[in-house]
Structure 1
Amino acid sequence: MIDWIIAQQGMLSVTLTLLIITEHFFTQKLGASLTYKLWLLVPVCLLLNNIPMSIVAIPSNDFSRYVVGITPTLTTRDAAPLFITWGIGVCVITAYILVHHLTTWASIGKRRAVHTNAYYSSKATTPMLFGFIAPKILLPFSFKSTFSSAQQALVLEHENVHRKHYDHLWNTIALTVAILFWFNPLVWFALKSFRINQELACDNAVLKNKTENEKLTYAKALVQCAEHCSNAITLYPTFGEKRTMIKRLNAIKQPTRNSKVFAAGILSIAALVTINTALAKVPPPPAKAETKINEAAPVKHVSPTYPTKAAKNNVEGFVVLSFDITETGATDNIKVVKSAPTGVFDKSAQVALDQWVYKPRIQGGKGVRQTGLLVQLDYKLSDTP
């Protein structure tokens, strides 16, 4: 698992950096709707970066042979501490999200606040769309006393646009990415930029055909919400989120000036990122016979343990294993091809090979998985191969 997590970081970091820069500097030129849609690059690139290895991996016919003695040197796999640390972070963040979700769910009143799918909640300091699957609009108890009838209609329209855009599902995907890659600071900066683009796109859809007076009413509602908005971190889009307020008010004040040429340039860059991610998984043409590229030799070799029962009974034998080398050099997909005596040394051989580390094969500046490697471990009670 940790190998997979590490293998995503290069592509993910490049994609998130591009999107963060776009949100910070180019939203006004691209338009709120298009900028928000560009975040589709994240799940698309993640999918392309994980095309099944059986389709794109480089096959290898390398065959290695090692002798196993009765005095092995055992070491622990270096990735174990990283996996434990990553797992702790995932559990802590997931637990926080679950507790926040359950406490908010428990605060929802049974009666609808208005004729739409909206309910009062003691946890809602400002109107918000709550839920990941079947979302509800949550309103603070002061909703009707704080806003005029016109403002109430605009606020509810805003929340319903969130639902129409399926923002509850996109937020679920965003939180999933944040949980899996919590250690990457770019993920959290990107989550903030994503939410800003989400709110701007929603405002743009609500105000698209509104009059100047209605836009002013909407802006006043935003300011009123910001005054009552809690500073606590929220998992769901809220109407009066303070972190997005300035940009949202500026977008209402200064209409977007879409630049078709600039939009075409950004879309071209996005297409190049996507194509590069897809082509990175395609193996290059096979090397010439006389050229050796990264010959498969372990840089970390862990000798198997000679089974105690086999040593006492003077049993010798061998195990032939097939395996893959991942993009980071770890072993994967280990299977026993043949062994003699059957089942005596299999487990010992698999446990040891799982801890071997190879120099990864590099093609086009990136690590490429190798498949179909074979290794034979000869279990000998003497030093003669």
Structure 2
Amino acid sequence: MDADPLAMLWEATLASSAALLLVLAMRRPVRALLGASAAYALWLCVPVVVLAVLLPRGMDAPLALPVAWQVAPVGAVAALQPRAQWHWHQWLLPLWAAGVLVAMALQGWRQQRFQRGLGVVQRGDDGLYRSTSATAGLPAVIGLVRPRILLPADFDRRYTAQEKVLVIAHERLHVRRGDLLANALAALLGCLFWFNPLLPFAMRRFRLDQELACDGRVIARHPHARRQYGEAMLKTQVDPSLLPLGCHWQASHPLKERIDMLKRPIPSPLHWLASMLLALVVTAATGYLAWATQPPAPSPLASMAGAGPLYSVDVRMEVDGNARAVRLRERAGRTFVLRSADGTTPAWKAEFVVGQADDPAQAWVAGTIHIDGSQASTPRMLVALGEPARITTGAPGGGPVATLELTVLRLGGDQDATGGRQQPTDAMQVPARIAAAQADPEQAAVIDMTRPPAYPPEAARQGIGGQVLLLATVAADGSLRDVQVERAEPAGVFEQVSLEAARQWRFRPAMRDGSAVEGWVRIPVTFAIPEDDTDTVEN
């Protein structure tokens, strides 16, 4: 599927902003009710929502095997080279990419500045690393692949023995919980969405919830050391800068909130279970909502729709011996569809658009070919008007082989989308001819058919006509009690639209001895394309 990067970026921005606002609104009530860990877990929904937006809806999965192209020397076939036309919005993507690079460079500079400020770092016998000069922002943890706990130069003098145990437990808990990875992911989102003014504010709250959750877990394991833990917080020197890839003591961690959290009771196992369930439900619900509200992937041909000259197209499609041919008149930029008959193996479908080329003696044809529900290829070619052209697609080593043969003629005169002959399209329905059976007064009858069935667009494009015979049962009050298809030719094409239309019609009930009774009526519905518009031939 060809996706517009700017559209995807915009959708991801809206979805992530909505998720951020939801978390910012819920974090305080959830923390008061279930504890700091529950509030911290809510932030998981933000990356999940971004990922959900990027997941495709209605995307055609390509065949696993590569597609080999073979051009037969029947006609002039060349790769279509669209003309490059730049508009102002096309600069947005390079601008966004430049912003991402600048944001990543800034994050890297912050990381390097912090690490340079550590001076000489020595590894102790306990596996911890001590700076020989730095004190601000330490203790800290850095390193995604090999996490290292960094201690300040005056660690042994600053803290008592019990305070040192609590501080080291705090840093080790960051490593075990994966907070380093969470901060790296937050930094990545900050780079990708550098233009979102909500992110810096949310990032500070995210880091605060992370520290509060870590504090709560440490206190849960050392319930009698609240005072010592609070004193260790007050002794720690904060660093005003934000460490992108690591966890350290910053000015953005309000000590008042962290010390107030120490006064809260330790969450019970029931609280832990409720907090995890809440985080799971919120994450799953927001992720599904973000995915489900995305529009289905548009047809690759949708962007080519437009008005232009009228063409006569003879097109034949064959897939492993299953062939179909059609002759039609189609305006430039409108899609026509061919598909295999029901029950054929493999089942296939082909959508094509014909359009004007720079050379008046040529036209371009673009389309997609689906085999057994998967996108097999996307042909793009220039054809000489009036000369047959052929292209064959197949998979090396076996698999379905599709052969497309077409001849395009221009039918003189440019016409807009509403002028000239009426062509069946998605936006314009060809009315079906309805002739209700003339029943005697004692039988039910249709009295209002102002809403005829909509002609199925693909059947109209391929020039397929037919007839459906409906059998409707009408209740004594004139309402439609039941409607069924008694006969349909061809089967599987017009039944659904006929039933949907019949359910909107008004009926006169059957009469017996002057009273309304339940009755029935047969309704033949005929679908036909005017012969001067389309002439269809099938093999």
- TM-score (normalizing by structure 2): 0.49
1:316 matched residue in structure 2:
361
Structure 2 residue 162 is the aligned partner of structure 1 residue 150: yes
Query: 1:118 deviation in Å?
Result: 2.4
Q: Which amino acid counterpart does residue 274 of structure 1 have in structure 2?
A: G
Contact 1:27/1:35 (8 A) holds in 2: yes
| CA distance, structure 1, for counterparts of residue 409 and residue 255 of structure 2 | 69
Residue 11 of structure 1 is aligned with which of 6, 9, 15?
Answer: 15
Q: Which amino acid counterpart does residue 255 of structure 1 have in structure 2?
A: P
| More displaced 10-residue stretch of structure 1: 95-104 or 246-255 | 95-104
| CA distance, structure 1, for counterparts of residue 60 and residue 14 of structure 2 | 19
Query: 1:318 deviation in Å?
Result: 2.0
- TM-score (normalizing by structure 1): 0.66
Structure 2 residue 197 is the aligned partner of structure 1 residue 185: yes
Q: Which structure's residues are more often helix, by fraction?
A: 1
1:339 matched residue in structure 2:
382
Residue 32 of structure 1 is aligned with which of 21, 31, 36?
Answer: 36
Contact 2:129/2:150 (8 A) holds in 1: yes
Structure 2 residue 289 is the aligned partner of structure 1 residue 276: yes
1:248 matched residue in structure 2:
258
Number of aligned positions between the proteins:
303
Query: 1:230 deviation in Å?
Result: 2.4
Query: 1:179 deviation in Å?
Result: 0.8
Structure 2 residue 210 is the aligned partner of structure 1 residue 230: no
For residues 114 and 97 of structure 1, do their structure 2 counterparts lie closer, same or farther at Cα, with a shift above 3 Å needed? farther
1:91 matched residue in structure 2:
101
Q: Which has the larger radius of gyration?
A: 2
Query: 1:38 deviation in Å?
Result: 2.0
Contact 1:133/1:168 (8 A) holds in 2: no
Query: 1:76 deviation in Å?
Result: 2.4
For residues 379 and 142 of structure 1, do their structure 2 counterparts lie closer, same or farther at Cα, with a shift above 3 Å needed? farther
What does 1:295-306 correspond to in 2, within 5 Å? 297=305
- Calculate the aligned-residue CA RMSD, in Å: 3.9
For residue 111 of structure 1, give the secondary structure of its aligned residue in structure 2. Answer: strand
Structure 2 residue 228 is the aligned partner of structure 1 residue 217: yes
For residues 271 and 384 of structure 1, do their structure 2 counterparts lie closer, same or farther at Cα, with a shift above 3 Å needed? closer
> How big is each residue's C-alpha offset from its partner over 1:297-340, in whole Å with a ceiling of 9 and x where there is no partner?
569xxxx9987xxx7xxx731222348xxxxxxxxxx9652323
| CA distance, structure 2, for counterparts of residue 257 and residue 248 of structure 1 | 16
Q: Which amino acid counterpart does residue 293 of structure 2 have in structure 1?
A: A
For residue 318 of structure 1, give the secondary structure of its aligned residue in structure 2. Answer: strand
| CA distance, structure 1, for counterparts of residue 293 and residue 106 of structure 2 | 36
For residues 133 and 77 of structure 1, do their structure 2 counterparts lie closer, same or farther at Cα, with a shift above 3 Å needed? farther
What does 1:44-59 correspond to in 2, within 5 Å? 44-53=48-57, 55=59
For residues 116 and 28 of structure 1, do their structure 2 counterparts lie closer, same or farther at Cα, with a shift above 3 Å needed? farther
Q: Which amino acid counterpart does residue 208 of structure 1 have in structure 2?
A: A
Query: 1:101 deviation in Å?
Result: 2.5
Contact 1:223/1:240 (8 A) holds in 2: no
2:209 matched residue in structure 1:
197
For residue 247 of structure 2, give the secondary structure of its aligned residue in structure 1. Answer: coil
For residue 49 of structure 1, give the secondary structure of its aligned residue in structure 2. Answer: helix
Q: Percent identity?
A: 24
| CA distance, structure 2, for counterparts of residue 336 and residue 16 of structure 1 | 43
2:140 matched residue in structure 1:
128
Query: 1:74 deviation in Å?
Result: 8.1
For residues 205 and 116 of structure 1, do their structure 2 counterparts lie closer, same or farther at Cα, with a shift above 3 Å needed? farther
For residues 79 and 121 of structure 1, do their structure 2 counterparts lie closer, same or farther at Cα, with a shift above 3 Å needed? farther
For residue 116 of structure 1, give the secondary structure of its aligned residue in structure 2. Answer: coil
For residues 118 and 379 of structure 1, do their structure 2 counterparts lie closer, same or farther at Cα, with a shift above 3 Å needed? farther
Structure 1 unmatched ranges of 5 or more: 58-71, 285-293, 324-333, 342-377
> How big is each residue's C-alpha offset from its partner over 1:207-249, in whole Å with a ceiling of 9 and x where there is no partner?
113243x211110111111xx2122233232145453322211
Contact 1:127/1:240 (8 A) holds in 2: no
For residues 163 and 267 of structure 1, do their structure 2 counterparts lie closer, same or farther at Cα, with a shift above 3 Å needed? closer
For residue 321 of structure 1, give the secondary structure of its aligned residue in structure 2. Answer: strand
| CA distance, structure 1, for counterparts of residue 83 and residue 303 of structure 2 | 24
| CA distance, structure 1, for counterparts of residue 249 and residue 133 of structure 2 | 16
Query: 1:16 deviation in Å?
Result: 0.9
Query: 1:98 deviation in Å?
Result: 1.6
Which structure's relative contact order is higher, taking Cα pairs within 8 Å and 6+ residues apart? 1
